[in-house]
Amino acid sequence: MKVLFVTSYFPPLTGGSAVVYYNMCKYLGSEASVLTTQRHYVDGHRIEYESLGPVNFKVNRLEFLRPPYTGYTNLNFVIAVFRFVSIDIPIMFGAFRAVLDIVRNERVDVVCFGEVYSLGWLGVLLRKLKGVPCIHYIHGEEITAGVSSRLYGRGALSALRKAEAVVVVSEFTRREVIRRGVPADHVHLISNGVDLELFSPGPRDPAIMSKHCLEGKTVMLTVGRLEPRKGHDTVIKALPEILKEVPELVYVIVGAGSDDKRLRGLAEAVDVKDKVIFAGRVPNDELIGYYRTVDLFIMPNRTLEDGDTEGFGLVFLEANACGKPVIGGNAGGVPDAVVDGETGLLVDGKSVKAVADAAARILRNPELAERLGEAGRRRALTFGWAIKAKEFRTLCERLALK
């Protein structure tokens, strides 16, 4: 069995999709191969892929796997067409040729695409020319948020409908994919997993305690890109009410993103600047220390007006695996990651009061926090990546035998 993953989202880039593809490959080992990129498609910066370290599968890299966005705003029609012909088409042709070479040289049985909008066309051509079965891996937000180009969107949905299989990460995503015309028997739910070798209960991290002056503090944590759907702003707005019940509380935010400046300004505006710590981007091997150091994990995600939403929420499983209670937004695929009242609490991520009430309830009730954390740990043990990779491999075997 040989599976080729084709995606721009791969470590050392961060994010849930990158974590999923990396761990699938890690547990498939030599049966997996990856085609990814040397440069980021948004701004063209070079990815320091050497920092990925040794792996037990083959990683192939192109300069670009998909056309970059850089410089494509405010172009007139003639220049846009010229750039499409001179830049986009050569990149697309290079990606197709690379996939064909890997399929032939490594005797690939199944190809899995991690980007339906930018790579859906590739799957359609590969299937027609080589008869290789294709899988599209869908997380949720890429379907619900849509795209600006109607033609682009139609092409992606056509690719999904023609694929031999579509893997989805939650019941929410499964419903959304089927609602868009993908045959139900082609849709396979493989929920996201958690790295049980890395994430486990343990003592507070002394270095993190010292770095952020957390001694004697009750600590609440969010891990995730700083973007509106995650709900960092709702937590910050809720802090004044939570502090009335838990005055020693500190809120730690791990992650970076476009919402950084707005969130910092909001913390100052609601007079909780000294209670919010922006820790920035943290290496994966240091992340365990943050989870172990906190009392509560919180990410009150919500669905935005454009449909952007959380497809699953790996971070909830990571926190649960460390024995921590969690609070998530009752939106998107998060109800698949958080069992309300059992491993954590689900709230309306748009409601400041709901977030404040839920946080105070857990932080003021150690018995409840312990019960949720212990149940979360037990459930996380059933979500190990080894289990998820086995489910994925079974699907690939079935497709290869057809």
The 10s digit of each residue's pLDDT in 340-398 is 999 999 999 999 999 999 999 999 999 999 999 999 999 999 999 999 999 999 999 99
- What's residue 73's pLDDT? 55
- Quote the DSSP letter at residue 342: T
Domain assignment of residue 357, yes or no: yes
Q: What percent of the chain has pLDDT over 70?
A: 95
Give the tens place of pLDDT for each residue, 5-21.
Answer: 999 999 988 888 999 99
Domain assignment of residue 224, yes or no: yes
- Residue 152 pLDDT grade (very low, low, confident, very high; cuts 50, 70, 90): very low
Q: What is the mean pLDDT of residues 104-133?
A: 91
My answer on whether 20 and 128 are in the same domain is yes
My answer on whether 370 and 388 are in the same domain is no
Domain count, the chain: 2
My answer on whether 315 and 327 are in the same domain is yes
Q: Can you point out the beta strands (E) in 63-200?
A: 110-113, 134-138, 165-168, 187-189
My answer on whether 323 and 390 are in the same domain is no
Give the tens place of pLDDT for each residue, 266-311.
Answer: 999 999 999 999 999 998 889 999 999 999 999 999 999 888 899 9
Tell which residue, 284, 310, 298, 316, has the closest CA to residue 253: 298
Q: What is the CATH number of the domain that holds 245?
A: 3.40.50.2000
Domain assignment of residue 365, yes or no: yes
My answer on whether 277 and 319 are in the same domain is yes
My answer on whether 155 and 174 are in the same domain is yes
Look-up of token digits 């919010």: 276
Domain assignment of residue 292, yes or no: yes
Q: What does the alpha-carbon distance between residue 338 and residue 322 come to, in Å, rounded to a whole number?
A: 14
My answer on whether 187 and 251 are in the same domain is no
Domain assignment of residue 198, yes or no: no
Domain assignment of residue 286, yes or no: yes
My answer on whether 180 and 225 are in the same domain is no
My answer on whether 389 and 325 are in the same domain is no
Determine the structural domain holding residue 21 and report its residue range.
3-193+384-401
My answer on whether 248 and 318 are in the same domain is yes
Domain assignment of residue 68, yes or no: yes
Residues 6+ apart with CB under 8 A from 357: none
My answer on whether 155 and 16 are in the same domain is yes
My answer on whether 219 and 165 are in the same domain is no
